[in-house]
Amino acid sequence: MFQTVSLLIIAVLTAIDQLTKYVAVNTVKVNGPSEFLFGLFQFRYVENTGAAFSSFSDNTLVLTVLTVIILLACLILLCSRKIKSLFVNICLILVISGGVGNVIDRIIYGYVVDFIEPLFIDFAVFNFADCCITVGAFMLIGYEIYGLISEKKKKADKND
């Protein structure tokens, strides 16, 4: 049951990503940039042939293969039920969802459609999939750091 729900959530988040990119291609690409959220952000169409911050630009094949390998490993881990933490599973669901959304773009277009640009800071243009990956990864990193600190504290308390 858990695997079914997890895969359904991944499918829904991936569909949201693809829908937002479809809208961006058919409106932002056609009409040009437009500001939103009180001018803090703008919709701006970008074709990203690289990874985060356009790193590894024009290496679509390598990025696609590497991403698919990582996604398969995450999916196997998620579906194996070896991870007992619901929090970690949610992190994996977010990372997988975003990764699948961006892989679909790379396979279909040869690039990832990005369209959200913060104007209040000099930052990369990104998309919904990037948000899922980033939130999932940072939550997982925070979880692991918290675990390490807790473990170190327990050892210190035990030695006192």
Cβ atoms of 58 and 50 within 8 Å: the answer is: yes
Domain containing residue 133: 2-159
Residue 130 designated active-site: yes
Q: Which of 58, 130, 157, 160 is catalytic?
A: 130
Write out pLDDT tens, residues 92-118.
999 999 999 999 999 999 999 999 999
Interval 32-53 mean pLDDT: 88
Q: Which of 17, 58, 105, 114 is catalytic?
A: 114
* Mean pLDDT computed over every residue of the chain: 91
CA pair distance 70, 65, nearest whole angstrom? 9
Q: How many domains does the chain have?
A: 1
The pLDDT, as a whole number, for residue 5 is 94
